[in-house]
Amino acid sequence: MSTRYLGERFDLHTGGVDNIFPHHEDEIAQSEGAFGHPSVRHWVHGQHLLADGIKMAKSARNTLTLDEMSELGLDPLAFRYECLLTHYRSRMDFSLGALRQSAEALDHLRQRVRRWAQLTDEKADRMRRERWIAEIREALADDLNLPEAIAVVQRCATDPTTPERTKLEVTLEADAVFGLDLAGVASEHTKAPREVLASVDEHRAARASRDWPRADLVRASFDGYRVEDHRDDQTIVSRADRRTGARDRSTISSAKELPDRRHEPTARSWSVALVTRDDADALERCVSATVRFLPRDAELLVLDAGSMPAAQDRLAYLAAGDRRIVAHFADRDFGEGASRNALLRVSRGRHLLQLDASIELVDDLFTVLAEALADSPVGLAGPFGLRTDDLKHFDEVTSGEADAIQGYCVAARRDVLVEVGFDPRYRFYRNLDIAVSFAVRERGYGAVATGVDCVRRHPHTIWESLSEDERLRRSRKNFDRMYRRFHGALAPTRGS
C-alpha cells in the first residue's frame, strides 16, 4: 500500500512501537527483497496512547471518536494540538480534561491570530522573523521536537519586542508543520459572507454614533459569526464554530478531580453510590424510591457517566430537590470500576450501598443491611447473593451465606471497601461484583444475602440494549480477568 501511493522510495514511515516487530521488520524484508534497495529512509515509531493510564483500545472501551468530540462541543483540531504537546517517543496520557485544556489553548492562539490579522497595520520585522523561524526549525531538526516548536511560537506570541505582523507571519509559517489551519483563521474576516460583513459595518457605525440599542440589534444578524468589540470602534470577526464555548455545567474528566475523603472520619450513617448513564426514567425511579427510605443523615451520591444533556438535566433537577442528593457529572464513561472508585472517594458514610438504577426500593432496606453488617465477620450484604463451586457456574440465593453479592444492590462498611477498592480495568459491570466479593473474602470477611423483600429489580438497561454477541464479548473479558485472579482461592465460607 505504501509503495503504491508513495513509490519505491519515500522519506518517513510512521507507526506505533508495537509495530516494530514483526510488522515493520517484515515490511522491510518484503520491500527490499522486491525492489533490491531500501524503500524507507526513516522509521518513526510513536509510543502508546493511554487513556487515564490504560492503553487506549476499542476492546477497553476507552476510545473517543471525532463525532463524540463534536457532541462535547470540542473541535477535533484540539486533539491535534494536544498531540503536538507530547514528543512522539513519549507516552501520551489522554484525558478529556487535558483535551479541554488543549481546546482552550487553541482557542486562545486562534484569537491571537485574529487580532494580529484584523487589527494590525504595522509592518513585519524581517530580521526578527528569521530569528524565530530559525528556532522553530532547530526544534524540528532535533528529532522532530514538536513540543519545543510549539513553545517557540508561544514565546514569539508573547514577546513585547516582536511586532504583531511578525508574530502572525511566524505563526502561520510554523502552522505549515502543525496543521492547525491557522491561515483559515487569519482570513475569517475576509471570507465571511457579504451580508455578515455589511452587518458588521452597520454595527460599527451604530457604536460610533453611540446608538447602543441599534448596535445590539444588528449583532443578532451575524449568522454563525461572532463579533467582539475593541477600542476605537474596531471589531474582531470570528467563525462561531471555531470558538470554544462555555460549559453548561461543571464536569470531571477523572476521579482524581473529586476530593479524596476515603481516610477521613465518617460523617453520615449511609452513603448510597449510584452510577448512571442516559436512562433518565430508570434514574428517576431509583432515586425517588431511594430517598423515601434514605436515613435523614445519609447521602445519595450519583455519578452521571457521560449522559446526553437531557439525562443530565433530569439528574440536576432531582439533586436540586433534595439536599441529600449529590450529583457529579463526568465528561464520559470512565468504566464501571473507575466510576465506583470515584464515588467511594467522596463517600462519608459509615456504610456504603452500591446501587444500580435498575433497583427500586419498596421498603426500609437500610435497617436490614445495617443489622447484617453489624456482625463483624460479615463484609458484604445485599438482596441477591451468588453461590459457586468452581467460579464458572453460579446460583442466585436471596438468603443466608453466599460466595458473592451481585452489584445491583450490595452494601459494605466503608472501611472494608476502602481496603479493597474497585479494579478500574473492569470497564463493564459484569463480574466486577464477583471480583470485589472475593477480594473482600481474601481479607477474612463473609457475605450474606438478605433484604430481598425490600427491593424490586427491573431490567438492566445497558444489558438489555446489547446484542448477544456484544454481551458475550464484554462479559468474557471481565470473566477471564476475574477467574485468573481468584480461581485458586475458592474456599467455602458457609456451612455444608
DSSP 257: G
Q: Say yes or no to pLDDT of 150 above 80.
A: yes
Least-confidence region, from 68-82, 167-181, 310-324? 68-82
Q: What is the pLDDT of residues 207-222, one digit of tens each?
A: 888 898 888 888 777 8
Q: Say yes or no to pLDDT of 280 above 90.
A: yes
Q: pTM here?
A: 0.66
223 band by pLDDT with thresholds 50, 70 and 90: confident
Q: Which residues contact 281 (CB under 8 A, 6 or more apart)?
A: none
Range(s) of the chain covered by CATH 3.90.550.10: 255-489
339 band by pLDDT with thresholds 50, 70 and 90: very high
Given this model, what pLDDT does residue 490 score? 63
Given this model, what pLDDT does residue 74 score? 86
CATH topology of domain 111-242: Four Helix Bundle (Hemerythrin (Met), subunit A) (1.20.120)
The burial class, CB within 10 Å (0-12 / 13-18 / 19+), for 398 is middle
More confident: 49 or 134: 134
53 band by pLDDT with thresholds 50, 70 and 90: low
Query: HSE-up of 485 (CA within 13 Å, CB side)?
Result: 18
Given this model, what pLDDT does residue 491 score? 54
Given this model, what pLDDT does residue 496 score? 38
Least-confidence region, from 56-65, 99-108, 458-467, 468-477? 56-65
Handedness of CA 425, 428, 433, 435 (dihedral sign): negative
Q: Which residues contact 434 (CB under 8 A, 6 or more apart)?
A: 386, 391, 394, 404, 482, 486
489 band by pLDDT with thresholds 50, 70 and 90: low
Q: Assign residue 335 a region (left: φ > 0; alpha: ψ between -120 and 50; beta: otherwise).
A: left
Is 414:349 a contact under the CB 8 Å cutoff?
Answer: yes
% of the chain at pLDDT higher than 70: 97
Least-confidence region, from 90-94, 274-278, 293-297, 370-374? 90-94
Distance CA 307, CA 329 (A): 9
Given this model, what pLDDT does residue 197 score? 87
Mean pLDDT, rounded, of the chain:
91
80 band by pLDDT with thresholds 50, 70 and 90: very high
Q: Say yes or no to pLDDT of 495 above 50.
A: no
Reading the block at residue 304, the C-alpha cell is 452521571
Q: Say yes or no to pLDDT of 145 above 60.
A: yes
106 band by pLDDT with thresholds 50, 70 and 90: very high
Peptide bond into 22 cis (omega under 30): yes
CATH class of 255-489: alpha beta
Reading the block at residue 295, the C-alpha cell is 436515613
Average pLDDT over residues 162-186: 97
Range(s) of the chain covered by CATH 1.20.120: 111-242
59 band by pLDDT with thresholds 50, 70 and 90: low
